[in-house]
Amino acid sequence: MSERNYDVMQVADGRPIKMWTRGVPVEDQAREQLARTSTMPFIFRHMAVMPDVHLGKGSTVGSVVPTLKAVIPAAVGVDIGCGMMAAKTTLAALDLPDSLAGIRSAIERAVPHGRKPGKRDPGAWGGTPPPAVDAAWGELAVPFAALVAKHPVLTRTNNRVHLGTLGTGNHFIEVCLDEADAVWFMLHSGSRGVGNAIGTYFIELAREDMRTWMVNLPDQDLAYFPEGTEHFSDYVEAVEWAQHYARLNREVMMQNVIGAVRGVIAKRFETHVEAINCHHNYVSRERHFGEDILVTRKGAVSARAGELGIIPGSMGARSFIVRGLGNEDSFHSCSHGAGRTMSRTEARRRFTLSDHVAATAGVECRKDDAVIDETPAAYKDIDAVMQAQRDLVEIVHTLKQIVCVKG
């Protein structure tokens, strides 16, 4: 029998918390946040914590929260369905131009990104979205209309105009090379403005329900919907719709990235059919330890036996294509990335633009003050993170980014 690779945090009046965090730092505030969640009466068996764990808004990033007959909207968060997509191409490093600036510029033109308040948001489609967006929206329009009929507040959201767009923060599009110098495209985004609106709306509904029922909570972010209630059903319907939106959002972006690169590279190329598209902020109906439960992964990826996933590093670090090992104690999960070691504010205070330029040497990317909070040193050591979860996944490919587009 192999040696156990996790530690257990026991909490008074709470479920055990199994932590795959050996060799990586964990903030005291994150431990306290995890402990509060573990005391909820509907937590199933134990919680699982991934090595990229850190304090999060609403819930701890890097946590796997299994529940019986209840769901916590703030544990899913507002970036519903946020996740990764990667596609291997038939291109090799030698097929790329010496200067990668043209590839980066082509991607930036093809995919709306960033955000500026006002009438013309560069992160949304201006005018009529392209045909690929309309085709994807065709899968979403009817169920969204049904959702809006019950919750009219969701009418005025950035939905169709955000489909196929990147966003801001830690969302990115990258061109990478693997260990054999094959070219990959990889991107990170979620359900954009409409997902944020759905998450924010239902989080507040859950808090209102707790006040109505006079439920005493250790943290208002643990407000929940019990199964069998109207809001539980509506939330599950809404979150599943947002997760579908997020998956399609990544697919449309990937199509546009491929088209953009084809426009600036002379050599004809294809992408492999088996592209990987995985969520890491979501809730899923699954069966574990003989029970049908809801599994909320907040900054965690499904890692069933044989299942492919993506674990990105920071802007200057390596990323990994992985295969799940089906570890039941982790509820078949792994980390979603390296995980932050400090807040964005602290990163801006601590690091200079010169630090960021040095850390991203060799990567064609933004090197300005606005992205210092995303500098590699603000994140955990990805190699330590991978070592801590060696019983959750195996590495299939190691990727190094050469182009990075940030919102």
Hey, is 7 helix, strand or coil? Answer: strand
| Neighbouring-strand partners of residue 174 | 186, 404
Q: Return the closest-CA partner of residue 269 out of 185, 367, 378.
A: 185
CB count within 10 Å of CB 180 equals 9
Tell me whether residue 336 is one of the annotated catalytic residues: yes
For 144, counting Cβ atoms within 10 Å of its Cβ (0-12 exposed, 13-18 middle, 19+ buried), the class is buried
Tokens 């489909």 locate to 163
Q: Report how far residue 296's alpha carbon sits from residue 279's, in angstroms, rounded to the nearest whole number.
A: 11
Distance of CA 274 to the CA centre of its chain: 20
Helix boundaries (H) for 190-294:
192-212, 230-262
CA 85-88-92 angle, 5° bins: 140
**Which run of H or of E encompasses 176?**
strand 172-177
- Active-site option among 171, 332, 336, 356: 336
For the annotated catalytic residues, the residue numbers are 336
